[in-house]
Structure 1
Amino acid sequence: MGCRFHRLNFVTATLLFSLTSSIQVVGTGLIGAASVSAQTTENRSKEALLLYQAGTQQYNQGQFREALQTFQKVLALAKVKGDRQGETVALNYIGLVYFNLGQYPQALNCYNQTLVITKKIGNKAGEGATLNNIGALYTTLGQYDQALKFFYRALVIIKQVGDKAQQGKTLTGIGSVYNNMGDYNQALKFFKQALVIIKQAGDKAQQGKTLTGIGAVYKNLGKYHQSLQFFEQALVIINQVGDKAQQGKTLTGIASTYYILGQYPQSLSFYKQARTIFKEVGNKTGEATALTGMGPIYYLLGKYADAEQTLFAAIKVMELLRNGLLDSDKISMFETQAVTYRLLQQTLIAQKKTNAALEISERGRARAIVELLSSRISESTANKVTIKPLEIRQIQLVAKKQNATLVQYSIIYNDFPLDANQKWRPAAILIWAIAPTGEVRFRLVDLNPLWQQQKTTIRQLIPNYSNIVMEHPKSEQKVSNASNSVVAIVQRSRNDFWIEVALVLIVSASIISIAAWLWRFRCSNNTILAEVSRKSRWLIISLLMLLVAGSNKFLLLLPQNEPIADSDRGLGFVFKAQKFSQSDRLKQLHKLLIEPIADFLPKDPNAHVIFIPQSFLFLVPFPALQDANGKYLIEKHTILSAPSIQVLDLTQKRTTGIFYGGSNALIVGNPTMPSLATHSGEPEQKLPSLPGAEQEAIAIAHLLKTQAIIGDRATKRAILQKMPSSRIIHLATHGLLDELRGMNSAIALAPDPPSSPPYQGGRGKVNGFLTAEEILDTKIKLNAELVVLSACDTGRGKITGDGIVGLSRSLISAGVKSVVVSLWSVPDAPTAFLMTEFYRQMQQQPDKARSLRKAMLTTMKQHPNPKDWAAFTLIGQAD
């Protein structure tokens, strides 16, 4: 419930003119503060006064397009007269109009201009109100951390100036963000605070919005009758003040509540009313929301054609809203829209339109990266690359051009959630296999038995996600500090030292106490695994209260605050136990993801199979999946992956010749490590050296007839300068993982000297970490055929509908055709062996996917544990 529509009571005077009578403006703090200026300024244009009055009336009635034209005229008059205060008012209104029309880049531009002027002229109330508007905009975009930052900044200023009405709006905005984030108790607290203040201020329009917010929270808490009571109270007030846009939002809330209660006719009726209002006032976001709500009702009523038509209409509106947004804003906004694409796929499958469902599956993923890639290709060619969604014939053509079997997955959930906050278990996986001949096979895999019989989910089966690489605990810091630095969000332990536990069981009537000596081991059955730092490997773990049954395996990782291990390619901590056999998980994943289409995969092990995962399936180690006989998938197939079929097609369009060797290869290993703190507020520690990575780089450089860059020479500045002219880039170093935003995932390089000037596109201190965000922000135009990130977790990041937001995505967006990244913490020695073998194979034949497969098979013979050879995946082109 963001503050998408700020209604102002009609005023008889304007901020742009000097009048002798007192002026009362009910609305934003910016308006209220400027009215003081209006009382002391004389000889203002009557024309501007009339325009302002007309504009506010048009805005309050939801006539946004007419209001836009009117306020643009007001802005022009203010500029002519040099009235800076008047400019801020006009710009603020223009921004609000753009916001309600769904033209978010234009709205943000106006708000930013307003913010600059209000600061310059010292209008604190106006500054606070503008910060509020920006917070509401980021809420709509799904950028909740950003929204909270702006709302809290606004709250500080608004409290200083004592504007109660504006304070109530700010508290309502904060409540809306927490509601969207799923923190319902916190949301309710802020909404109730807001309601008290708004009633004191007598702002009826805002009171209706806040009551709507409270209704939304109660709906999300499952208190549906209380929810309806608050929605109905809100609707009475909103109808009284004539706030058309807010009326549509409140009707949407009522409709979604009736849907959850199973009262579909009532729900449909309220959604239709809401859609009519949203169309009338031009609110595209509201219209798309109403259409998305109507779709599943038609589906449940068996009206599949109506559901299809409605959801298609919703998608068309949503795609218009994303036009012109920044990359990060597109990603976050798409996350709020992804449910509509899923619902449409279900609707099409119900009608046996499997090819059409594939088109929607493809259309609903990696849209932001597709637009980035197409813009880069357009810059380097005379012809502009079109980015229309692929149709089935184009998808078949991509499979033919790739000479590969494409396997696309789409996850379907067990209900029709109308709200991103409703968490549902995956209920099914849709799988399409497209052969090079163009033949398409479809399979639907029911996932409900997984939960019903085994009490688990497919996500929990992914070993590198739930076990081998564990998740860090949630940060207790404020959201405003969550993404300030790499330090605040890195990551997990990557120790190469696995400890064997000799178990001594002492059984009593109620408990089992286990005492254990620990020593180094590789994963064997019926053991408790412990991951600790090198300096802690001698410790005795005693009195572990774990029940060991049959062949179950538990993974135990010690708490944080351990010294940084010195043979890692990353850092961190964890403590968690999990009761699953690694081999069983790999076999179950094979059964769910591969067996349904196994008969359609190529028999030739050298033929390419390109997997297009979705969501957490990006973390599946496809090479390590085992069939019923224990044979790994990599033994039967040559495997690649891609964020989407269209991304695959666009990366192929960047055709350049391949040259493995000479000065075109940039090989970096074991740079002089930078320092960072493992916890906020703690002293920095220098990352440990990686001698295995250094030997890896030297060996690969020798194969490619070039010199490895190691130690002090591998500075961030030096590497950035060499990257654009390199055909092969190999970075063997530490990797840092950011699963909160993805864009702070980083590769460690040698720090530049303190005296060095900031590099192009630099973001503050030069600290030796090259982040995913910096790769995009510096707008590096990379021409590399291949980038290998021989470090931990470089294939991970924030999981979104645009794929994994992290290093691999940034490199593909920057122009790289193929990227090799890791899905978990990679041990130093086996990784060095695998990488050297990979380049040795590439010298014999240029196919990168086949070379990686052969390297894995060779490494497997010496290091049979999948942890040692299956972490790396090739994204993009094979040749």
Structure 2
Amino acid sequence: MKFAKSRFFPAIVCFCLTLLFCGLIAPVWGKTPPHLVAKSPSSLGEAIAAMEEDWTREYEQYFSREFLDEPMPVAEMSRAIAKLSQASGQRIAVIWIKTKADRLQLALLTPDAQPIKRTTTGVSEQQLQQTLQSLHNNLVAVTRRHRTTYLEEAQQLYQWIIAPLEATLQLQQIDTLIFCAGPGFRLLPYGVLHDGEQFLVEHYNLATIPAFNLTSLQYNPLENAQVLAMGASEFSDLEPLPGVSAEVQTIVPNLWQGESFLNEAFTLEQLQQQRQQYPFEIIHLATHAVFNAGTPDQSYIQLSDRKLRLNEVDQLDLNQPPVELLVLSACETAIGSQQAELGFAGLALQAGVKSAIASLWRVSDVGSLALMSEFYQNLRNTSTKAAALREAQLAMIRGDIHVEGDTLY
């Protein structure tokens, strides 16, 4: 792929998005590489139910609370996805990913077929984790030194995760992938997976969910939404974020209607008060957000007056009424920690919001401004948040927007 000169490579942000679709007819198996073992769909419902149960329990144990009264049967998942398919006008597939000691298990649910299962053998759990860690390290290096050392891992992961399902996805004209993954894969920036010619985000809208059973199923367009944008640029014990003021003021009022508060005005009391006065559908927080190993109280969102611990986020009552989108634009996450994974991937779940967009690692202020500006511009003209984010990422991949030093072009 040809990159624009001195171009800033976009940090692929990880997000949980409420887009769910289903399959209704017989499975299409396509051509299966010899190292892949096709499984009968007769037991797939039980396999999906088991993954959903395991992952729901993990989130409940991590956050020390119950999220689910009764799990959803796979047949009901299909009906829920069908309804959302019609509402959003997209062709969506849900992919479950689970690792075993010597294999990778994939389950796929599409709008026009019964669920199918693929098992990639000959891949150890240790090999998978090493590849994921190496990809993350190289992606962080890319944002600093404009190198492409991440491509080897990005292409290998594509072969393990996407290639086994590629024939079915193409045959059914899927345009949106929702990943529901177990330990190790919850922090994977799926958009960077590479088929040797293009990134995955160049083919699909992308989203992740903690579990299907834990995901809101209601589709609501956002063209008339109000944004509460808040941020801080100076901190007593953290690095400054000098671009926050420009980011917040670009979003509100330049790109979107709403209210904005900066620095000393970015307090817990102000956030709670603003939500009580008006039910903002989008909340954008431009500040440090850190997801650490350990219990939820070790992770936090930095306000101007205090650290809002992850175990306190539910006290904001962002589900009364539910916030459609929570955006955190300056996150840092402890890659390799299952607790940090659960905290990051479960952010929307714990906060009680319908979806969240957050960065996996710190990028430059001007890079964040570029990506967020494009995202909010696209959000008015696309049917979903996933499509809006994809268009922003594509603009950076094409070189329509790039960064040299601290300057945005």
**Which of residues 450, 461, 482 is equivalent to 2:131?**
461
Contact 1:703 1:840 in 2 (8 A): yes
Q: Which amino acid aligns with 1:361?
A: M
Q: What are structure 1's unaligned runs of at least 5 residues?
A: 1-348, 377-385, 414-426, 471-493, 499-521, 526-580, 677-686, 752-767, 866-879
Q: Tell me the equivalent position of 2:217.
A: 652
**Following TM superposition, by how much is the alpha carbon of 1:645 offset from its aligned partner in structure 2, in angstroms?**
1.2
Which has a greater percent of helix?
A: 1
Matches within 5 A, 1:622-633: 622-629=190-197, 631-633=198-200
Contact 1:605 1:637 in 2 (8 A): no
- Matched residues, number: 353
Give the secondary-structure state (helix, strand or coil) at the position aligned to 2:95: strand
Q: Deviations over 1:140-185 (max 9, x none)?
A: xxxxxxxxxxxxxxxxxxxxxxxxxxxxxxxxxxxxxxxxxxxxxx
> Which structure has more RCO (C-alpha within 8 Å, separation ≥ 6)?
2
Q: How big is the alpha-carbon RMSD for the aligned residues of Structure 1 and Structure 2?
A: 3.5
Give the secondary-structure state (helix, strand or coil) at the position aligned to 2:265: coil
Q: Tell me the equivalent position of 2:362.
A: 825
Contact 2:112 2:172 in 1 (8 A): no
**Following TM superposition, by how much is the alpha carbon of 1:608 offset from its aligned partner in structure 2, in angstroms?**
2.0
Q: Residues of 1 paired with 2:192 and 2:117: CA distance?
A: 24
Contact 1:700 1:839 in 2 (8 A): yes
1:666 aligns with 2:228: yes
Contact 1:716 1:769 in 2 (8 A): no
Q: Residues of 2 paired with 1:604 and 1:795: CA distance?
A: 37
Q: Tell me the equivalent position of 1:524.
A: 147
Q: 1:387 to 1:362 in 2, by over 3 A?
A: same
Q: 1:811 to 1:391 in 2, by over 3 A?
A: closer
Give the secondary-structure state (helix, strand or coil) at the position aligned to 1:618: coil
Q: Residues of 2 paired with 1:794 and 1:657: CA distance?
A: 30
Q: Residues of 1 paired with 2:268 and 2:59: CA distance?
A: 25
Q: Deviations over 1:711-744 (max 9, x none)?
A: 2221232123324632110111222231222442
Q: Tell me the equivalent position of 1:784.
A: 323
**Following TM superposition, by how much is the alpha carbon of 1:618 offset from its aligned partner in structure 2, in angstroms?**
0.9
Q: Residues of 2 paired with 1:730 and 1:657: CA distance?
A: 17
Q: Tell me the equivalent position of 1:409.
A: 97
Give the secondary-structure state (helix, strand or coil) at the position aligned to 1:688: coil
1:693 aligns with 2:244: yes
Q: Tell me the equivalent position of 1:364.
A: 54
Q: 1:864 to 1:665 in 2, by over 3 A?
A: closer
Contact 1:431 1:443 in 2 (8 A): yes
Q: 1:805 to 1:780 in 2, by over 3 A?
A: same
**Which of residues 444, 452, 465 is equivalent to 2:119?**
444
Q: Tell me the equivalent position of 2:313.
A: 775
Q: Residues of 1 paired with 2:334 and 2:384: CA distance?
A: 21
Instruction: Using structure 2 for the length normalisation, give the TM-score.
Output: 0.75
Which has a greater percent of strand?
A: 2
Structure index of larger Rg: 1
Q: Deviations over 1:650-687 (max 9, x none)?
A: x125x6674544xx311123x153323xxxxxxxxxx3
Q: Tell me the equivalent position of 1:346.
A: none
Q: Deviations over 1:361-412 (max 9, x none)?
A: 222212365899x988xxxxxxxxx733333312322332332211111111
Q: Residues of 2 paired with 1:605 and 1:394: CA distance?
A: 23
Q: Tell me the equivalent position of 1:735.
A: 289
Q: Tell me the equivalent position of 1:590.
A: 158
**Which of residues 391, 405, 410 is equivalent to 2:73?**
391
**Following TM superposition, by how much is the alpha carbon of 1:440 offset from its aligned partner in structure 2, in angstroms?**
1.2
Q: Which amino acid aligns with 2:251?
A: I
**Which of residues 706, 714, 717 is equivalent to 2:266?**
714
Q: 1:714 to 1:777 in 2, by over 3 A?
A: closer
Q: Deviations over 1:789-821 (max 9, x none)?
A: 111236979525xx9332552432332111001
Q: Which amino acid aligns with 1:733?
A: T
**Which of residues 739, 742, 749 is equivalent to 2:303?**
749
Contact 1:741 1:797 in 2 (8 A): no
Q: Which amino acid aligns with 1:790?
A: S
Q: Tell me the equivalent position of 1:849.
A: 386
**Following TM superposition, by how much is the alpha carbon of 1:638 offset from its aligned partner in structure 2, in angstroms?**
0.8
Matches within 5 A, 1:510-549: 522-524=145-147
1:429 aligns with 2:121: no
Matches within 5 A, 1:95-114: none
Q: Using the TM superposition, name which of 690-699 and 608-617 deviates more.
A: 690-699
Q: Which amino acid aligns with 1:695?
A: A
Instruction: Using structure 1 for the length normalisation, give the TM-score.
Output: 0.37
Contact 2:98 2:182 in 1 (8 A): yes
Give the secondary-structure state (helix, strand or coil) at the position aligned to 2:273: helix
Contact 2:317 2:352 in 1 (8 A): no
